[in-house]
Amino acid sequence: MRLLSRAVHAAAGRVRGQSCRHFWGWLNAVFNKVDHERIKAVGPDRAAAEWLLRCGAKVRFQGFERFHQDYNGLPTGPLGRYKIQAIDATESCIMSRGFEHLDGVKNLEEIRLRKCIYIEDGCLEALSSKQNLQDSVYVMEVVSCGNVTDRGLVALHKLKNLEYLFLSDLPGVVDKDTTVQRLKTALPKLDVALDLDPSDAP
């Protein structure tokens, strides 16, 4: 009877765990949903900042030294006054469906993707395909994003002004030498800092 009770509790725990994961997955998908009316109402930078902070990321605006993380503490003022210059998405829940928020963001120079469980090749491909980001982004970090593979990294060659790329703890990258060489061939000015050993990740 005692063994049966343990088995029942263990099974219930697994069900609760699965339900919890499904709930958080659903909630994160809601956080990433694009509201086109909101973008029209407040402009692309403000709407993108709201999306990022809603998902647990941080943003730095032009003219500011510090990152903003408090959703309710976003600066107010005339529409279009605050332009996103940098994104720190460390441990955030941003995912592919939300990247449409970046379509009208034209001053973004730096993107940090660290420990982002939903970041995968499609996200990097989406970033790289945006003309506005191809012209502006020059610093990127991709660290401890387990779903990123060589394919996603190679897509970054479309960011024609990319000057610095830091890569660390990416178990999905299996041919790092070839991948880095392809990036450097496409982007001669690119400096790639490589540390793909998980034991050494920052």
- The pLDDT value given to residue 75: 87
Instruction: At 42, list the tokens.
Output: 């407040």
Q: Would 26 be classed as within a structural domain?
A: no
Would you say residue 17 lies in a domain?
no
Range of the domain at 175: 32-200
In a domain, 45, yes or no: yes
Within-domain flag for 156:
yes
CATH number for the domain that contains residue 181: 3.80.10.10
d(CA 29, CA 48): 15
Residue 21 lies in a domain: no
Token pair 């998902």 in the structure block, residue: 55
CA 1 and chain centroid, separation = 49
Q: Please give the model's pTM, rounded to 2 decimal places.
A: 0.83
Query: How are beta strands 58-61 and 110-114 bridged, if at all?
Result: unpaired
Number of domains in the chain: 1
Distance, CA of 83 to CA of 28 (rounded, Å): 25
What is the rounded CA–CA span in Å between residue 191 and residue 166?
8
Domain membership of residue 133 (yes or no) is: yes
Q: Give the β-pairing of 84-88 and 58-61.
A: antiparallel
Tokens of 105: 């963001």
End-to-end alpha carbon distance in the chain:
48
Distance CA 99, CA 78 (A): 24
87 near 110, Cβ under 8 Å?
yes
One digit per residue, the tens of pLDDT, for the chain of length 202 reads 443 343 333 433 443 445 545 544 545 677 788 899 999 999 999 999 999 999 999 999 999 999 999 999 998 888 788 999 999 999 999 999 999 999 999 999 999 999 999 999 999 999 999 999 999 999 999 999 999 999 999 999 999 999 999 999 999 999 999 999 999 999 999 999 988 655 544 4
Say if 23 falls within a structural domain: no
191 occurs within a structural domain: yes
